[in-house]
Amino acid sequence: MSARFVYAVLDVRDRLADRDLADRCRELTFAWSRWSYPGAIVEHADPNALLVLAAMRGARYVFVQASGHLVVETLRPKDAQAPELVELLIRALGERDWLVGRIDAPGAVRDGCWLVDLDRWHARGRPRLSRDATRPLVACDDASGIAAFPEAALKLGRELEPERAAHADALRAEPDRVDTSALAPDLGTFVASLARTLDRSRRGVFVWNLERYDDLVFAVDEPLDALYTVAAGFKPDAILRACGFHDRTRVVFFDYSESALAFRRQLVEEWDGRDLPAYLWPRLAPGDVHYWLRSTVHGGAPTRDELDTLWARELDDWGGADAFAGHWAATRRLEHRYVSVDLLNAPEHAVETMTHEATAVWWSNAFSSVYSLWNWRYAERTQAYARWIRAVAHKSPNALLIGADADNTAIAGARAADYAARLAAWRGGMHEPLRASAATLRF
């Protein structure tokens, strides 16, 4: 079955003399697209060829970004709704238009972000598109049928514009050392937000998960003997519920955030599983620890209203307060261990105690988080991810895998040795990630 839309990248790396910077901007475009889009991404330097490639995928629409454009993703609790850039652009086409983009000249749109209705493009005789030789524009030989870019969509994208000297310098530097006043306002805001995220990552605590539990639908032959998991939210508990456990099941928390490990240990040792906001409220003062919540984005303390809302949403996932409390009481009696580990640099430490027993492993999106995307190039992240999978497969070939790969593609229910072999043979790269399960999850 064909997808309703396909993502495409217009390769404009020839605009930059600095090839390494051009490659980095291209990688970031692919990476930021993966927050919301798990499908194939087509790529070409010729916009006409790009539309043909998209049409060959059977899609109705193609969403095009020039390399160096980012789709903005904001902190979003699981199940929270927010407008999607692609859907806003599709609606902007109305009943007749075939292309929507930022119209910067007669018959031309900015090449950074635009969308085409491929059916209408074909019906019009496939109007020709051409890149401007000196400006970041795509010109159309049929200027009719071009819709204006909707105002609401402007804040959902960022153009890195590495052609500008100040922007190029910012992209080469550590974000916390960038003079954001020298940047275009939108990029300055993005870099400042990025600096905050990177600073908080290694001392951050996910009180709740941003990802849903929808991927925890798979067949297991026996209850878990061991769960190896990052220390984030209550998804570890949801995994135990989905797979089953017994009174000798071991739970091993591993994380690069010492704060996350300490927070989880505190919950296991002190909290009774009821009214989490009441327990947390006097304990969440701002300080060295950062709690990943909407109310703390700018450094303040969590708000009680947000804690109450997220707790109510969590209880809905469990069928009510009694169901959650009963599960928590049973699992907090299990043996727990807490391991500080950097999965990208030394993943083997996380699985030192793993054996061939019935095991599940959840690492969330450690290999495609903002921290990983900004600090490691794509090849480095894919190599680190493959090393992690090999380490798990070596220790426990039949381990149940749950998480995301270096392309932020969900892995749920695959077995370690089988998946390691498939991953080693896969050659899809950034354009076509390996789909190892039916799960589609937003991380």
Using one digit for the tens of pLDDT, what is the confidence trace for 85-141? Answer: 999 999 999 999 999 999 999 999 999 999 999 999 999 999 999 999 889 999 999
Instruction: Decide: 136 and 65 in contact? Cβ < 8 Å.
Output: no
Question: What pLDDT sits at residue 437?
Answer: 76
CA 305/CA 213 separation, integer angstroms: 23
Question: Can you state the angle between helices 185-201 and 165-172, rounded to 10 degrees?
Answer: 10
Report pTM: 0.93
| Both tokens assigned to 344 | 């990208």
**What are the tens digits of pLDDT across the range 286-300?**
678 888 888 888 777
pLDDT of 170-209, one tens digit each?
A: 999 999 999 999 999 988 988 998 898 888 888 888 999 8
For residue 76, pLDDT over 60 is answered with: no
Which uninterrupted H or E stretch holds 200? helix 185-201
Please give the pLDDT value at position 219.
81
| pLDDT tens for each residue of 22-35 | 999 999 999 999 99
**β 5-10/41-44 pair status:** parallel
Instruction: Identify whether the C-beta of residue 206 lies closer than 8 Å to the C-beta of residue 232.
Output: yes
In this prediction, residue 218 carries a pLDDT of 84
Residue 248: is its pLDDT beyond 70?
Answer: yes
Residue found by looking up tokens 């690069």 in the block: 256
For residues 372 and 69, what is the distance between their CA atoms, to the nearest angstrom? 19
Residue from 183, 195, 190 nearest 371 by CA: 195
The pLDDT of residue 1 is 37
- Packing angle of the helix pair 321-331, 235-243 (nearest 10 deg): 80
205-242 pLDDT, tens digit per residue, is: 899 988 889 889 888 889 999 999 999 999 999 999 99
Residues 6+ apart with CB under 8 A from 18: 162, 168
Share of the chain above pLDDT 90, in %: 79
Residue 79 to residue 322: CA distance in whole angstroms: 22
